[in-house]
Amino acid sequence: MRAVFMCVAVALFSTVVYVNDVRAAEKSIPLDQLPKEVTHAVQQMFSHAKLIKASQEEEDGEIEYEITLKENGKTIDVKIEIEVELEISEIEKEVAYKDLPKAVTMALEKLYPKAMPQSAEAVYEVEDGQQELEFYEVQLKTADGKTVEAKLNASGKIIKDSDDEQEEAGEKEEDD
């Protein structure tokens, strides 16, 4: 019995340490404390946008910044990695549901009939300063009240998400 209690205590302690470590991985930082080269790179790419907030994450000695901007009333999230040199790696641009490609909206209507759109983003990979559309990420509220996130390419095909272990990016998620 004592061994079981000890195992439970160790598991509980490990979980608390792990959760605190994960939460500490990304931290909000004031805009005036961003490195000048990060601010300059974002302002150069989005000269008419207003910087709203920033966060910093460090993993395996690599630093990644996520900067949130507003441009023409739309939200843009820019991810910047700093390994040896600064590199903008990904851009997420808010998109009005009505502005999504018809193939995307038709696929969503077929997959989630009667669902109400909550938000949509176009996600771009940036390589050598060039933006390439990777996918659209759409949040929907289903008729039964569940929140769903789907990732589709421009032709409306659901794509796998390489950032997590989901089998398909269109799997349903429970509302918290």
Per-residue pLDDT of 107-151, as tens digits, reads: 999 999 999 999 999 999 998 888 999 999 999 999 899 998 999
Count of domains for the chain? 2
Cα(25)–Cα(59) distance, integer angstroms: 8
Same domain, 59 and 106: no
- pLDDT for 69: 95
Same domain, 82 and 157: no
The three-class DSSP label of residue 164 is coil
Can you say how many angstroms the Cα of residue 131 is from the centroid of all Cα atoms in its chain? 16
- pLDDT for 160: 67
Cα(156)–Cα(101) distance, integer angstroms: 8
- pLDDT for 24: 44
Cα(43)–Cα(80) distance, integer angstroms: 13
Average pLDDT, the chain: 81
Same domain, 149 and 108: yes
State the pTM of this model.
0.69
Same domain, 107 and 44: no
Cα(34)–Cα(151) distance, integer angstroms: 31
In a domain, 71, yes or no: yes
Host domain of residue 105: 95-176
- pLDDT for 61: 78
- What number is the average pLDDT over the span 25-50? 91
